[in-house]
Structure 1
Amino acid sequence: MKLGLRLPQRLGVDLQHDLVEAARTAEAAGYASLWTYERLLFPETPAEPYAPPNVPWPETQRQAADPLAVLTAAAVATERVRLGTAVLIAALHTPIQLAKQLATIDQISGGRVIAGMGTGWSSDEFQAAGAARADRGRFLDETLDVFDAVWGPDRVNFRSPRVVIDNASVLPKPVSKIPVLLGGGGSAKAVQRIAERADGWLPFLTTPGPEGAAEVRVRWDRIREMASEYGRDTSRMEMVVVGNVTFTDRPAGPDRSPFVGTLDQIMDDIHTAAEAGADELILDLNLQDWFTSTQQMLETAVEIPGRAQVS
């Protein structure tokens, strides 16, 4: 199992200097990929909690720098690591513009982009983008359709309720097909979408230890079984687990969530992801107040690959 690292986008990050330092440091430390996430705004009185039943939005997300701009900076600063989004919310973007942005970054990076996509959940963000929560699945499907059309050969002809492309060239094209990974998987429709359309899955662990590994493995086996029924080559699909890390000074109790606890407990969770069959694990060390600076975060990030000893 390979390791990926989320780049710093949070409140308090020096965007002029920290992004390049983090990207270069992670590549030198042996990380296989760098990732960004999307947060459009920070509502003072959000329509939904950050997580059920009433988890507040993390204060560090008051700022979340634009994921594609951050990825572009990383593309210029690195040479080998893959560059992914986990995830972009389809309903917050115009599909053809998003396709062109991803293709442009893919060209800049020499073909290293991974497009992690999701439906999203924040009504405040949908409202700000002129969308509605009820449209989120339909907008994701439409965006995937546009990707297929405009990343294919010119001239492009495409028609949907929101997008009309009439006999046009849409350039640049990606270096090669950009892998599209999908988050979610909590509903039958989401599982079907992953199996039928995605190049991979971006799940979270919900339980630590062997039980959590088995749970994810069963769901991944089901997705690939369904994909095979659609006639797809499942050997080309990948599972990339997302680990949002929260460090604690003392060991967290037996009812802890995955990736919450001491560094030793986080190491256990890394091995749980490997046991689940993950091809890669994204470590996000930015969504908490535990780190006082990007440099402190990077010191821990550099330590983890050597301790994890996963391959």
Structure 2
Amino acid sequence: MKLGLRLPQRLGVDLRHDLVEAARTAEAAGYASLWTYERLLFPETPVESYADLPNVPWPETSRQAADPLAVLTAAAVVTEQVRLGTAVLIAALHTPVQLAKQLATIDQISGGRMIAGVSTGWATDELQATGATRADRGRFLDETLDVFEAVWGPDPVNFRSPRVIIDNATVLPKPVSKIPVVLAGGGINVGRGSSKAVERVAKRADGWMPLLTTPGPAGAAELRANWDRIREMASEYGRDASRMEMVVVGNVTFTDRPAGADRSAFIGTLDQIMDDIHTAAESGADELIVDLNLQDWFVSTRQMLETAVEIRARAEAAGV
């Protein structure tokens, strides 16, 4: 299993210098990929709790999230081999043609290393700031995927949807090669049907980007069963499921003492976090994104990177 690292975008980051240091350090340490996340704004009185979870407040320490595509562009210039991904972009916050062009441009700058992680989003405050609603989310994501296929394909491009009309036009640049599109979100109860989001992954995506929430063998078994079902569904749609990737996200929160048996994955001591990395590998994940952006006691990017380097070294030593 490969390891990726989310780049620092939060409040307090020196965007001029820290991004370059983080990208270079992560690549030198052996991380296979660098990732960004998208938060458009941070409402004082949000409509929903954070991540649409009951009674979870929006994090005070992350009241800035630098633009994900600008951050990846900076990383592209100072690295040579790591893949560059978004985890994730919210489709409804973007004009589809402009987003397709931005992603293709970064792919050209990086020499073909771009991965497009995309989702429907959940925050009403962000959606309404761009003229969308929660009801639009799935429709706008499907439209965005349609536009990607059209704009990244051969010229002249002809496309028509309720929001987008392209009439016999050249749209450049094209990606170096097909940009993998990985979709986040969705849940599935194996044997009990599937959600629209999971069907979209199986039918249209190059991969799935779930969160690992349950630690230990139970968490590995749950993810593995879901992933097996998604790939089975993809095969039923006539797709080559062996070419799909599962990229798991690990949102890390360290604790001073070992977290209890009822903990969520990636909450605990460094030893417990390493156990969770092993769990992700056992689930069949192709890649794990290590996210240290929400860690309160990382007072500097250098401190964050020291921990990131240690995590990578320990994972390599353990054969993950």
- Whether these two folds match at TM > 0.5 is yes
What does 1:1-311 correspond to in 2, within 5 Å?
1-51=1-51, 52-186=53-187, 188-309=195-316, 310-311=319-320
Shift of 1:235: 1.1
Deviations 1:25-65 (A, max 9, x none): 00000000000000000000000001421010111221000
Partner SS, residue 70 of structure 2: helix
Amino acid in the other structure paired with 2:181:
V
C-alpha displacement at 1:300, in angstroms? 0.4
Q: How many residues align?
A: 311
Deviates more, 1:46-55 or 1:67-76: 46-55
Consecutive unaligned residues of structure 1, counting only runs of 5 or more, are none
**For the residues of structure 1 that align with 2:214 and 2:220, how far apart are their CA atoms?**
8
Q: Which amino acid letter does the alignment assign opposite residue 286 of structure 1? A: N
Contact kept in structure 2, 1:39 and 1:61, CA below 8 Å: no
Amino acid at match of 2:229: R
TM-score after normalising by structure 1 = 0.99
Q: The residue matched to 1:84 in structure 2 has which SS?
A: strand
Aligned AA (1:155): P
Residue 297 of structure 2 aligns to which amino acid in structure 1? W
Please report how far the alpha carbon of residue 286 of structure 1 lies from its aligned counterpart in structure 2 after TM superposition.
1.1
What secondary structure, in the 3-state scheme, does the structure 2 residue paired with 1:21 have?
helix
Match of 2:176, SS state, is coil
Counterpart of 2:191? none
Q: Tell me by how many angstroms 1:260 deviates.
A: 0.4
Shift >3 Å, 4+ stretches: none
Q: Match of 2:190?
A: none
- The one-letter code matched in structure 2 to 1:15 is L
1:99 to partner: Cα distance: 0.1
1:157 & 1:198 partners in 2: Cα distance?
A: 22
Structure 1 residue 288: Cα displacement: 2.3
Contact residue 30 and residue 305 of structure 1 kept, 8 A: yes
Q: Secondary structure at the match of 1:23?
A: helix
Deviations 1:93-140 (A, max 9, x none): 000000000000000000000000000000000010110110000000
In structure 1, the residue corresponding to 2:50 is in which secondary structure?
coil
Query: Is residue 126–residue 133 contact of structure 1 (8 Å, CA) maintained in 2?
Result: yes
Which deviates more from structure 2 when the two are superposed, residues 112-121 or residues 180-189? 180-189
